[in-house]
Amino acid sequence: LPAHALGQTVFKRDADERGDDPTWIVQGIYERPPDIKSLSVTLDVLSAARNHGSYRLMLQEIPATGWLQKNQESYVPIRAGRIVIHSHKDKSSVAAHQRGIELPVGAAFGTGEHPTTFGCLMALQRAGVLRRGMRVLDVGTGSGILAFAAARLARVKVLGGDNDAESVTIARENIRRNGLCRFVRMEKAEGFRNRRIARQKPYALVVSNIFARPLARLAPGMRRHLAQGGRVILAGFLHRDANRVKNAYAAQRIHLEHRLNCGAWAILTLRRPCRETKVTRSVIPAPAFAKATAGLLREPIRRSSKSVGGKAGIHRK
């Protein structure tokens, strides 16, 4: 889609019972109509070059509406255990035993409404997952909601990373909005590739709510950055992709500890063992082995005239 879109979304509609291939739906919102003819030519070339099959292009005019005001009027705080995601006007709705996170109404992502975000918030609140003094990393932080939840629940220091510069800017604004400058820091990072992330390892807890394929690719790096006994909370994939993610981490000796199902989505908590037994192998060179056993092989063998159980005994001298 043309780059001047105000916003874009991409999602996959599953195949139906007939076994048809799944359909990818790409949507963009523009202040002025894009050049449909030019876009059609581009899509034709891409479709032919990559064998993507057919596509259908639709243009729909959206009447001018005060969507932000409508969202503000209809917004209801989201509650996930002790965590409450709220707007500025709903700040008073957070009870004393709860932990509030304020996000701007109308944020494009990371508002806590998606099942994977809700599931990660619940996974963070499982007994033993968070404890004071631990070091936490949020990979693909988005708005920073999971980092804020960890800091609010256990007053731990959290480092968040995202490969999108705008997301990092928004997350930093949200840090100030929630008064968490002492606890949360955001960095632009591609996965684990960031100096600060590398310098502060190992982490006792890593959370990442992205997609199945990049999560599987992160598995080797996760092992290098996760402390022994540390946990990983992974989300952003459907049930059918859960085994692929789980197996990628099992290959790194990071094993499933808990699974939470939120509708069609899976949230996995995995753990690296506290102690790992390394398998070592020693090799005795052939000459040394021959020398060590030479005397044994040359010892004379004598037969005993005495018999045990009716059989002659054989003894080494």
Residues 263 and 294 in one domain: no
- Asked if the structure places residue 186 within a domain, the reply is yes
- Top pLDDT among 315 and 144 is at 144
- Asked if the structure places residue 198 within a domain, the reply is yes
Expressed as residue numbers, the domain containing 304 is 286-316
pLDDT cut 90: percent of the chain above it: 56
Domain with 133 in it: what CATH number?
3.40.50.150
Residues 256 and 303 in one domain: no
Residues 37 and 135 in one domain: no
- Asked if the structure places residue 263 within a domain, the reply is yes
Residues 23 and 162 in one domain: no
Average pLDDT, the chain: 84
Q: In this predicted model, what pLDDT tens digit does every residue of 124-177 receive, in sequence order?
A: 999 999 999 999 999 999 999 999 999 999 999 999 999 999 999 999 999 999
* Integer Cα distance of 57 and 15 in angstroms: 20
User: What is the total count of domains within the chain?
Assistant: 3
Residues 96 and 206 in one domain: yes
Structure tokens at 254: 């990071």
Residues 29 and 104 in one domain: no
Residues 104 and 26 in one domain: no
Residues 245 and 99 in one domain: yes
**pTM of the complete model beyond 0.75:** no
- Asked if the structure places residue 69 within a domain, the reply is no
Residues 267 and 291 in one domain: no
- Asked if the structure places residue 281 within a domain, the reply is no
- Asked if the structure places residue 110 within a domain, the reply is yes
Residues 150 and 109 in one domain: yes
Residues 102 and 201 in one domain: yes
- Asked if the structure places residue 56 within a domain, the reply is no
* pLDDT band at 287; cut points 50, 70, 90: low
Residues 147 and 296 in one domain: no
pLDDT of 314:
46
